[in-house]
Structures are given as structure tokens and as C-alpha cells.
Structure 1
């Protein structure tokens, strides 16, 4: 009994004095040479009270390194190191090396720093507060986990300005999720979706100080009081939560967590005696309704509330991108690449009452409900409409932050013959009553002529069968080229290219040759794939079929392919004007400003289609001027999309090296992290700056401060000297400033600061305001 009481007293005292206890208790010090492994004992370093532990915990199909609250029946992870790295195997080790580094060594021999410190580490300790601390040679703290929160604050921990909590993907996956809580420089605590511009329009929860204070911080004390300290000399506290004090017989640990659903909550864990069995309760919730969280349901889906729980559904005309992972959102269940002249016949308009979403309309006009639906039906850019108070607001796709139980009525374009309902609320089709009336009248007439139609149909069928047999005997239906990829033989392509004589260029996947098809004399470009992953013919055909389904005016069209053993070739449309690199860097006369702006917008729209609008999301991984081609009408088209997965690992490294030399590779691509669409956005930002200045990203024969294009553009922007970028040219300086700001946003080192591709297009078009990028500010 005396031992239990002493442990309780020790834990309580450590919560009050923090680091000092660990420094005094030498038995809890982790010395150099100490090692952990998931498969052997020890796999963690516990705190003195054993309520917290640091080490390996299971995640996905492997293990991650982090800190967890030890409790029954399930531990609760409160911090993760390098949270977006892939899990490691059971044969990995974590060691505080003799050289003074905290290193994670994977089974493949890779080394990852857990704490990036300049001074050698002498020792470490896991404190009872949940803080993991590293000490230097003079026992000074050189690093602590409390300074780098992930999704949780513990008692005694602060969140200072310019720091943020980022939610986890789920309760079992602690990689970076979809929401962030930022302690802003104006002293306000605000929650946003991660993939947003982090502007006031994107905020879904905030706690505002009455005045602006630069040094404000969010704090959670050991008694469970959650408050904002305004940083003033008086130290005024603005409380979010006041918790009750625990009794003397129990130990209470508090944690404030931005949960995977985007809601900030305060939890308490009550421990009795020294057991890890505890009771958990929710002391405070920032939002009561999950549907209040912007981005809880992703693009093209809406949230409907059931109590405090939110349920996501697709809008009419949309299907889940992945039924088993609804957080990815929805996509159109029909193709909308071509603006048809017969839009009123091709599309139907479906209405959905009490619906609303938060986005920027490209058109707001007062008109009647009927005129509003007709206007969208005839507008190629209109994907959906919100109608409220006789105002017709037209929107482009994708739609975000959708909610039900609002006052507006939404209208959607749905292709004729498609199902308008997807398991959501009942929806009504405009003109449905008229259609029923017409069908009722028509049915009587149809009944009268049924017999005549049956007889004539029989004879017509016989005629068609006869005609089909004749065509089949010729062995060419004549439709495959228009509607499907054509499968070529190697000998056909060898003859078309005259033995692969005229080489147009060479890239990541092999050489490209010019050719002419025998039938019709159509010019083609033939890419002979080299050093690609060896896979079966069926798998290769499946990959090509998937790429062949992507059709957009700003993508180079794949016409067909050849696969004969190890020979793999792709057949593309031929574009006369070469690549963007030729146009920008080699042509005697640079393209005029208006043409360059149109090319920049074409490339952005092509990437937007790959990221958000095609059937399966495609990350290009190699956006650069050499992979952007120009056709006869000076339309820019992106090539080599969807092929990154075909490269062998060694070739991937080689290609990334080339991209890195050119400066197109995003910084996170060099850190062995998971690549996202933000890598393409970085590459596009570099290309955009090259289009603006008509020079390559790296140029040697210039003054030292102009060698790296992005740095030079940043300096010119900060100094208000954008005219240096386009000397002796007739340009629209308002458009120039907008393009420069977009380019600087896209090339931010932090992927979370880069805008999504839809916002890039809107900003370039001038329909969305472009904020001043951080690099242009006096920080």
C-alpha cells in the first residue's frame, strides 16, 4: 500500500514540475547506446509512472515511432515522429547512437532522424507529462516533443503562433489528415481544411481574442483548463474550458485533440491507483455537428446531419471515386470533355431542395427559376447552380463544402439516361410532370402502331445482319480508331516510322519517332518504351486502356499501342510545333505575352483534369517544358501522363535526378515521402515562372542573384520591380503580377501552402483573389 501511495505522489509531483523530476531521477535517463526494436524487448521507453511510453507502435502493415498514453483496453497515440513516412518493418531499430543522434534504421538500411538537432545528444527521458526530452552534454534541453505537436496537446503543453495541430487520417492511421488548427499571428485560434487557401472563407471554427496579440498561445494545464493566453504583460487568459479538479484518490490526464473528423475536443482519462485501466470522458467539444466542418465531405458530395453525426452522399450525376474510401469525394458519372451544340438535348436538369455549398460562383444574375436552369443547361462551364431569392449563381466543378437543410435550391446537369439518385434524399427533375403527361398521350399512339413497327423491325433487322456480315468479312469496322485504342503490330509501326529513323526526342521512357500511318496518311509520334517494369501483356493493356480513357483538349491523345514480348510502344497524335522548351528557349522570336498566358492556362487546365476531373486521379510526377507540346492552333498539351508507374525504380531515380537538376522536382520528392498532387503543383509553378520570363529555371550566364529563376522572381516581386522580368514587352502588368504571385505560391517548400490546381486555374483566370505569397512579405 505504501508503494502505491508513493507512486501516486511521484506522478502528481512530476506533473507539476515537469522536466526537473526527470533530470533528478537518474534511473529514468536513456543513455547513448540504448536501442529499441518492434520485434524484441524493449520496444518502448516508459515514463517513471508508466502512464506514457515512447517507442514503436503498430500502424497499418508495419510500425511507427511515437508517444502513447498507456491504457486498457487500447493505447492512445498522442505524438508521432515523421508521421507521413511509410511504416517500417518489425526488423527496424531505433537507437540513441554513441555519436549523439536519435536514429531510426529500416530493414532496407535507410536512416531517418527522429529529432533534427545541431548539438550532439547526451541522453533522453520520457517524462510523466507525456513529453519526450533530449539533453545535451551540459544537461540542457536540446529538443522536446512538446515543441512539435502533431494532433494533440497534453497538460503543460502550448501551441504558439505560426504552429498548428493537424488531424490524423483516422484513429488507427496517424499520418497527416484533412484538417488543421492554427494559432494565427493575429492571436486567433482557427480551424481549416488542409487542402484550402487558409483564408477566412475556409474557416469552420474559431476562438477569437477580443484584441489582436502577436504572442498569443493556446495552453492546456494539468488541471484540464484550456485557454488562450493573450501574451500581454498582464497575461490575460481567455478560457475555452474550465475542468473540475480530480480527487486525491485518482490521477487525471487531460489531452486536447484535433480528431480525424476535424473537431477539436478535450478528453480526460481517470486512473485509479497505479493501474493502466482508466475511464475516458469527453469534457468539451468545439463543434456539436460534424456537418459544420468544412471538408468533412470532400469534393462533389454533401453532408447531412443525423444528430451530431454527419453522413456524406454524392450529388446527382456523381459517383464515389472510391466506394470504400468516401473521404476522397465524388466524380462525374459521365464525361464532360466536349461542349456540345445540343446541350439541351444531351443534358437534363435535376433539382435538389435545401442544399448549399461554400464556393465562388463565376456568374451571379437575377432571373427566374426556369431561366436559371436553362442558362446552366446551355453553358459549357456550368456544372451546378444555386438558386436563392431569385439569384441564379452558376458554379464550375468541383463543388466543395456541401450541406443539406439550407434555404437554397441546387440544380445539376445530368446526362440523359443516367440515374439521378445515389442513395441520398429524394430529388425532383424539372419538367417531370410535363414528361409524364406527354408519355401518357404518346402511349396511346404507340399502341396503335406497335404491330406495324414489329413487322418493319423484323425486315430491318434481317437487312442489318446481312450488312454487318459483309463489313465483318472486310476485317475492319472503321470505328476502333475513333472510340477505342488501336492495337498495332510491331511491323506496322516499323514500316510507319521507316525503321525508326526520324527521332523527335528522347525522354524518361525512351525515344520518340515520327511516323505516318499507311491508311489515310495520318502523322503520328511513336514512343518506344525502354527500361520499364516488366509486366504481363494483360496488365500492360489494362494500363494503356486506363490512360486511353483520359480525353482533354490539353492532353496529348494516345491513339494506340503495341505489345509484343519485351517490345512495348505507344502511338500518339503528332504535334507540329514541338515542345514548350523549344518555343521558350530555342525559338528565334519569343511568343508574345498573350500567347504565353494562354499556354500557362492550358497547362493548368490539363493538370486540373488529371488531378480532379478524370476517372482515376493521375499524378504526373514529371511536369516540365519538354513534356508540354504545342499543336497547330498553339494549344498546349501535356504528354507522358499516367506513365510514371511503368518506370523501374532505378529509372525513377535517374529521371528524378534530371528533374532535380532542372529544378522542377518538389522538395518533398527528395525526402522519401509519399508523393501527392502538390508535387505536380510545385513543378507547374516552376514552369509558370519560365513561361513568364521566357528563360529556364537555372541559367549560368547571368548575375549570381539571377541564376535560380524562382529566387530572382521573388526578389523582383519583393522590390516591386516586375518589369525586369519582361523587359521591352507589351504586357498587362495586372495579369503579370497575378501570374507571378500564383507561381510563387506554387513553389512554396511546404506542400500544405501550395494551392490546389482548381484554385490555380481560378486565380489565373482572375475569378479568385490571389493573396500575397509569404516569400514576398517581410517576415
Structure 2
């Protein structure tokens, strides 16, 4: 039970078996998740996973066909002639989405079986589509086994471990009962008094007969299936105006409104709006102080006797009034939009400090249903492929250092008509022709896009680009987007059959649980049988390892030198170099075509005394498995040629990301810091052989396509057997990140990594290098000194000036700085362990007030 993976003979039944069985990869619980995904599709579609007798070839493999139907919006084909399923097509879609997550080829992308989290929710009961109209714990989904209790002070939702996930916050009286009325309002009663009601604590929806008072807000969800609070809010302000506004996450700063009802009273008026009313006839209006009504919605033709109504602030930021027929007409009934505001959210949203309706570097446009749609321009891809409305990143690096070729050979322009990013311009050139505008941007290393409008005006803009929109009102204006020639195609999030990949975004997985209805938990036991034929075929593909002085007891693949020469096109594309070797980009066929990073150890370092470098990396790193460590895939031990094959990480090093042209978002930096901390905790305490990295710095942190941090380069690592607490070794590490004990002939322990992490944490927090000798202010040259001064003087805002999200989250900035100061204590015994560091960063434990990191003079 203390194992996280195992290696074993191939087991399972054809059609339900995950790819790792055939790749000599660790076998984890994720193989069961894969099999469950296939089984879930069979349950949904009522057919076998493989049907080679099908008249239509594209339907033979259920997993392929289901994904095609999902991408093409033809899910009804999966359940044709199944009336009940067709009437609940929303749930069919949800089940297919869950199944697609489960059958991801990469095991790390598959959810755990516990990922089926639950909501305390209210939905319409008499229509097939379970439309949620209220939910309680969107930000804290409940794991299986959670309990809802009716206590004296109201509802309390607890996890199986007793952690309180949500409570109704009843402020007075003793609750003795609860009741749901036909309007959808759930009430907690104390005698004849209403102590709490769901109508007064709304989520994203209002229902007929519901009234919202001033200050009560609707918050959108993050996506169609992610019920945590999203980026949009609706509230009746104190001045009487009903407004819609974007919200910066995670700071929760509310930006200027993109919609106003116009019901605010002027300063001398005594007649402002004071309630938003949704009456039983389906009309929405703002009720003023003198009981005058300002009706928001148009005349409704359908009777309340024949239709259900709801008004929802959708996850895309549009407030919409919907209707649904109560009686079946023989057709598949669904919700119909009757009215919405604003008409065009892309152009209605005011230009401000936030990214806009869509993420940074994205473009907002209206689809055929007049709903906002966000997309990355050519040359850019989503940072988080599961979030269509999130930030986009360029697929190339542009900096102001010497390029390898003239700009004309490296860059081209993507011409986008009627597209603009209204902010981020740093230069207006006029009068300029379009050709002059292109030429100026092409040779300007800061220019990401040039906007040419009004016949002779050229605005040059730098990253990040915000508030992007397609606006017909620009009358033919052009955005000239500078992209790298031969850039990668847009990111495709899936498919096991690589030839059938499509550019579709994945959806976040959360299943809903009705507060009043039951739920069915799907449990299954996968009966494992030995597939000897597959095992034999697999064995023939792999030659036995050559006999060496070191016995490699890992599940790594052994490559010949020629294979890696071919894979790297004769070591053509260099990714980077370090003290022990040079890293090249390559492509290998490993059951599927995959990009890899090949580290070629320098010849004069792999002989004699330095043979231990190779043995250490292969034996120890091959046995490490953690999401925040770069994964070793294989090796070559062919004569004098020794190479290591790692997974390729598309977004390069943290150094390039952090110190490049644009500042990464505060939320990204938080997640990167937490990821590095978890990776170091694993190296220090959780892997079978304790590892001291000895060279933690931004250059040795790599970022995957989702900007998850992964620690790389264990070539400098000093390994400890588990019963040792310290070691003595030659000085290693990089200037600026090196702890004092390196220079004092003191024992080297894991605390040297803690020190380096503290410096790195300050760099992540402040978005600057640890040493900046070119700073105009001498006191800011050494980041560790300046950060401690700011902490003591209460001027932490100076560390993150002009970073709006960080300034709005200054409490977390303070926590990160405090943790960093603890990490960089000169006395190693005062530094916390990485476990304590992780807990403090995550807010699990309080951070004590740190002492001065250098209480006594340092003598080398």
C-alpha cells in the first residue's frame, strides 16, 4: 500500500488496457481509470468498445468515434433511438467528457477516481436536463463520503475527514426544520421564522419570485462544468444601478462595469433603484424607492403556466433570461434564450487593468448565437487548454538579444481585420503607411503587434496584449501580429490516435449532486487476465541491456548511439548546456512519435572518476516519479557515448519565462512556486534515495505546456543514503543561490536547497533577478537584502509595484516573503524543511515572524 507504482506482466482485457502496459512504464491506479473511461462510454452508448463488423468504419473503435462526435457536436448519434438519453443530452455530454479525460494517453492527465467531486445543489426536477439553479460549495467540491447535517445553526457540509466545506451561516435563532417550496427557494426555519433561505444567498441564477437586495451579488461559474466562482459578477450597487463587471482572480478585485441598467439616482434624487425583482410572470425589473419599475426584459409571449423561467449570469459573462416548456411537444425540449445583456460583451467591456472578457493575448468575438467566443491568434496557444477563456502564450520566444538571422527571415505578420487590443501600446507613429508600420514593428524587438488604422496611424504594442476584441466598428483597421516563421500549429489537447487530433478544448471535470435527489456511484472491478501475446510482442521490440559496470534496475529504455544521432538529426538543435553536457532536441518513435530532450554527457567527464555522474543519473533519477520532476525516459551506454533521454518540455526554462519580455501573472507565479516546493519535498523526503539537488535556480526549472514547474538537471546532485543527514563535497551551485555553508567547510545538507529555493521564491514573487548590479537604486541591487528591508519597513508593495494582481493579494505576497526569509537564514538549523515550506506557502500552517537572515558577520 505504500507504493505509488509497480512493474508487472501485462494484464487486462484487449480494448480496456492503457498504453503504459505496452511501454514498460510504471503501472499505477491510472490504468484502472483508463479502463473505467472505456466502460463509461460503453454504458453511455450501449455498445461494445470494439465493433469490427460495423457498416461504418469510423464507428468501429468506440473511443475514436465518441471523441469525433464530441468535437463535431453530434453526440446524439451516440445514443440514437434512445429517447430518455436524447432528452438528457446534457448528461450524455458530461459522461462523454468524463470518459475522454479518463482515456487520455498520458496517465498524468487522467483524473483520480476521487476526482468525481460533488455539489450541494438545487435543480429543476421535472425536466430531463438537470439544470442547476443554486449551488453551495462551488469553490470547495465535496469528496465522496462527505455529509450534510442540519445543526442548530443551519446546514453544515463536512468532508469525510471532518473539514467544514460550507455552512449556511445562520446568524440568529435555532434551526428546527427545512423546507423547499415550489419556487425553488430552500428555507431553514426556527419556529415560524425564516432564519436562512437560498434566495438570499444566490449562486449564478435568479428564479421567478426571487428578489435581490442591494449588495447581493450573482457570481458566474468558471466554466460550464467548473462551479467555482468565475470572472464575472452582477450586483445592485448602493447607488441603485444594476451592473455587470469582470473580476480579477485570484485577487477578486472588481473592475469597472461593462453593463449598467441606468437605474442609479442622481446625487439629488430620492428615487434610485433598491431591489432587483424577478416576478412570477417572468419579468425582470429594478424596483425604485417610489415603487416605480424599470423593466429590463422585453414583453414575454409565453405564459408562466406553460414555461419555466430562469435568469443566469453565464460563465461567459452574459446575463441571460431563459425559458423552457413545461409540457413535452414531442420534440427534444431545451432552454431558449429570450433576452440577454450586453448585446456584444466583446466591445461593451471597458478597457482596463484586467485582461478583458478573454485572457491576455486572446481575441473575443461573437459566435452565431451572439455569445462571446475566445481564441488565440495564429502563433499563440492557450496556457491552460481546458480553459477556452484563459490566457494565450506565444509559441516562440522574442527577445532583444542578438538573433541568429535577419528579422525578415525569422518573422512574418498575421493580418487580422477589425481586431484590436486597445491597451499596451507604447508608441504612436504618424503619418505612417501600412508598409512603414510593418517595417517598424518587424525591426523592433519589443513590438508584438502593430495596429494600423485611420489611414496613417500606427500603434505599436508589447506583450501582454489585453482586452482583445473583434470590432466591426473599426472600419477595416488591421492588427499586424508578428509571429515566428514556421511556428508550431495551435495546441491540440488530445487524442490517443495522433492522426485524429482536433483543436478542441477540454472541459474541467466536476459532477453535480442534487440536494434533494439521489446519486448513483458507478463502481466496477476490472478482472485482470494475462495477455501473453501482447507481452511477447512487446519483448521482441526491446534488446537486452548491454553488460556494464553498473546494473540499471529501472524501467528505462536503452537506446543505441545511432538511434539518438538520427533522433536529433545529428545533434542539430541545441536546447541548452551545462557543466556536464549539452542538451539537444530530438524526435523518437516510442509507440507514438514524441519530442525528447537528449543530454549528451561531455566525453572527458564520463570516464574514470566521473563515471559516477552517469551511474547516478540513470540509477537514481530513473527511479524518481513526480509531477514536478523532469522525467528520464531512457539512456545510451554505447562505448564512449553516454547520453540521457528526457521528456521534452515545450515552454523552456523558468528563467526565460520569468525574466523575458512580459511579466507572468501572479497566479502563474504562485503555482510555479508551489510546484517547485513539492518537487524538492519529494527529492528530500519521499523518494527511495534522498537527493540534494545543489543547484536550484530558474535555469534548472522547466515548464510544460500548462506551465507546470518541473525540476531538471540532477547532474550536480549529491546523493545520500537514507541514514545519512549530511555530506561533504566540492563546492557546487550557482552564484547568488549558494548557501553560506558551501564556503565554510561545513556539512552540506538538504538545507542548501532550502536556501536556494528561498532566493528563487523571492525572484518569483518580485519578477526580477536576485542580483541586479545595474539598478539605479543601490539598496535594490541584492534582492535578498532589499526584500528583508521592505518586510521590516512595511513597504512590501515596492517589491511588486505595477503588478495589480499581486498588489491586490498583498497578504499572500507577505506570506511568500516571510517564507523566503526563513529559507535564506544564514544558520542552516533555522531554515525550515521543504515540508514545512510547502505547508506555509499553502497556508496550512501560520508563518512565524522571521529573524534577520544574517545576524552575524560572514567570513569566507
- TM-score, normalising length from structure 1? 0.51
Counterpart pick for 2:447 among 382, 404, 420: 382
Q: Closer, same or farther in 2 for the Cα pair 1:185/1:422, shift >3 Å?
A: same
Check the 8 A contact 1:271/1:278 in 2, yes or no: no
Q: In the alignment, is the contact (CA less than 8 A) between 1:558 and 1:572 conserved in 2?
A: no
More helix by share: 1
Report the counterpart of residue 465 of structure 2 in structure 1: 399
Question: Is residue 2:451 matched to residue 1:298?
Answer: no
Pick aligned residue for 2:477 from 402, 408, 413: 408
Query: Which whole-Å deviations, capped at 9, do the CAs of 1:260-310 have from their partners, x for residues lacking one?
Result: 22211112344359xxx9864333222455755755542222234442355
For residue 594 of structure 2, what is the aligned residue in structure 1?
none
Q: 1:72 to 1:558 in 2, by over 3 A?
A: closer
2:437 is paired with a residue whose SS is: helix
The structural deviation recorded for 1:256 is 0.9
SS of residue matched to 1:624: helix
RMSD: 5.7
Is 2:313 aligned against 1:258?
yes
Residues 262 and 293, structure 1, Cα contact 8 Å, conserved in 2: no
Structure 2 stretches lacking a partner, 5+ long: 1-93, 99-114, 350-355, 493-569, 572-577, 586-596, 614-627, 629-676, 740-757, 764-774, 787-795, 825-831, 853-860
Flag the 1:629–1:65 CA change in 2: closer, same or farther, 3 A: closer
Counterpart position of 1:149: 202
Deviation at 1:221, TM superposition (A): 1.0
Q: Equivalent residue for 1:372?
A: 437
**1:220 Cα deviation (Å)?**
0.8
Residue 534 (1) aligns with residue 686 (2): yes
Taking the aligned partners of 2:806 and 2:762, their CA distance within structure 1 comes to: 24
Q: Is the CA contact 1:266–1:282 (under 8 Å) kept in the aligned structure 2?
A: yes
Residue 661 of structure 1: SS of its match in structure 2? Answer: coil
* SS across alignment from 2:243: strand
SS in 1 for 2:326: strand
Whether contact under 8 Å (2:448, 2:482) holds in the other structure is yes
1:168: which partner in 2? 221
Match of 2:133 in 1: 78
Question: Pairwise mapping of residues 556-595 of structure 1 onto structure 2 (< 5 A)?
Answer: 561-562=716-717, 564=719, 572-575=733-736, 595=779
**How far, CA to CA, are the matches of 2:430 and 2:133 in structure 1?**
52
Q: CA deviation at 1:347?
A: 4.7
Partner of 2:148: 94
Task: Tell me the CA shift for residue 86 of structure 1.
Answer: 2.5
- Which of 286, 289, 292 is the aligned partner of 1:236? 292
Equivalent pair of 1:159/1:217 in contact (CA under 8 Å):
yes
For 1:103-182, what aligned pairs fall within 5 Å after superposition?
A: 103-119=156-172, 120-136=174-190, 138-182=191-235
Secondary structure of the corresponding residue to residue 327 of structure 1: coil
Cα distance change on mapping 1:103 and 1:225 into 2, 3 Å: same
Question: Per-residue displacement from partner, 1:324-345 (whole Å, max 9, x unpaired)?
Answer: 5433332111124554477746
Once the two structures are superposed, residues 70-93 of structure 1 have per-residue CA deviations (whole angstroms, 9 ceiling, x without a partner) of 13212211111132113321x222
CA deviation vs aligned residue, 1:431-478 (integer Å, no higher than 9, x gap): xxxxxxxxxxxxxxxxxxxxxxxxxxxxxxxxxxxx99xxxxxx9986
State the 1:181 CA deviation.
2.1
Distance 1:265 1:493, change over 3 A: farther
Residue 247 to residue 324, structure 1, CA distance change in 2 (3 Å)? closer
Residues 110 and 308 of structure 1: is their aligned pair in 2 closer, same or farther, counting only changes over 3 Å? same
Look up the SS of the partner of 1:283 in the other structure: strand
**Superposed, which structure 2 residues align to 1:586-735 within 5 Å?**
595-596=779-780, 604=800, 623-624=816-817, 627=820, 652-653=838-839, 660-662=846-848
Whether the aligned pair in 2 keeps the contact of 1:316 and 1:421 (CA below 8 Å) is yes
Cα 1:549–1:257 change in 2 (3 A) is same
Separation (CA, whole Å) in 2 of partners of 1:538 and 1:484 = 25
The answer as to whether partners of 1:160 and 1:215 remain within 8 angstroms in 2 is no
Higher relative contact order, chain-length normalized (CA < 8 Å, sep 6+): 2
Q: Does structure 1 retain, via aligned residues, the 8 Å contact 2:692–2:717?
A: no
Distance verdict in 2 for CA 1:566–1:74, change over 3 Å: farther
Whether the 8 Å CA contact 1:347–1:377 is kept in 2: the answer is no
Checking the alignment, whether the CA contact within 8 Å between 1:485 and 1:559 is kept in structure 2 is: no
Q: Could you say what secondary structure the match of 2:118 adopts?
A: strand
Return the offset for 1:122. Answer: 2.6
Deviation at residue 128 of structure 1 after TM alignment: 1.9
Say whether 1:335 aligns with 2:397.
Answer: yes
CA separation of 1:113 and 1:329: change in aligned 2, threshold 3 A: closer
Cα separation, 1, equivalents of 2:320 and 2:311: 6
Tell me what 1:352 maps to: 415
Question: Which of 549, 563, 575 matches 2:702?
Answer: 549
Q: Counterparts of 1:200 and 1:105 in 2: how far apart (Å)?
A: 30
Decide which of 343, 362, 370 is 2:426's aligned counterpart: 362
Shift, 1:61, TM fit: 1.1
SS at match of 1:86: coil
Once the 2 structures are TM-superposed, how far is the Cα of residue 565 of structure 1 from its aligned partner?
7.6
Residue 141 of structure 2: SS of its match in structure 1? Answer: coil
- Check whether the contact 2:277–2:287 (CA below 8 A) recurs between aligned residues: yes
SS of the residue corresponding to residue 300 of structure 1 reads: coil
Alignment CA distance shift 1:549-1:215 (3 Å): same
Q: Could you say if the C-alpha distance between residues 256 and 606 of structure 1 is closer, same or farther in structure 2, counting changes exceeding 3 Å?
A: closer
Q: Are positions 1:226 and 2:284 aligned together?
A: yes
How far is 1:352 from its partner?
1.4
Confirm or deny: 8 A CA contact 1:223 1:243 kept in the other structure: no
Contact persistence 2:236–2:242 (CA under 8 A): yes
- Name the CA shift for 1:235/1:492 in 2 (closer, same or farther; >3 Å): farther
Q: 1:529 to 1:128 in 2, by over 3 A?
A: closer
Shift of 1:124: 2.0
Distance 2:837 2:822 in 1: 23
Is residue 700–residue 713 contact of structure 2 (8 Å, CA) maintained in 1? no
Mapped pair 1:217 → 2:275: yes
Quote the Cα distance in structure 1 between the aligned partners of 2:488 and 2:164: 53
Offset of residue 540 of structure 1: 12
Report deviation, 1:624.
0.9
Aligned to 1:206: 260
* Pairwise CA distance, 1:202: 5.5
Q: Is the 8 A contact 2:363 2:468 kept in 1?
A: yes
- Structure 2 Cα separation of the partners of residues 319 and 540 of structure 1: 35
Counterpart Cα distance in 1 of 2:227 and 2:486 = 43
Structure 1 residue 315 and structure 2 residue 372: aligned? no
Seen in structure 2, the aligned counterparts of structure 1 residues 78 and 621 have a Cα distance that, compared at 3 Å, is farther
Q: Which residue of 2 aligns with 1:447?
A: none
> 1 CA distance for matches of 2:164 and 2:286?
39
Q: Deviations over 1:49-80 (max 9, x none)?
A: xxxxxxxx999713210222213212211111
**CA–CA distance in structure 1, aligned partners of residues 780 and 243 of structure 2:** 39
Aligned-residue offset at 1:227: 0.9
1:42 matched residue in structure 2: none
TM-score (norm. length: structure 2):
0.47
Deviates more, 1:654-663 or 1:402-411: 654-663
CA distance in 1, matches of 2:838, 2:165: 21
311-320 or 340-349: bigger deviation: 340-349
What is the alpha-carbon distance in structure 1 between the residues aligned to residue 228 and residue 719 of structure 2? 42
Q: Distance in 1 between matches of 2:452 and 2:203?
A: 41
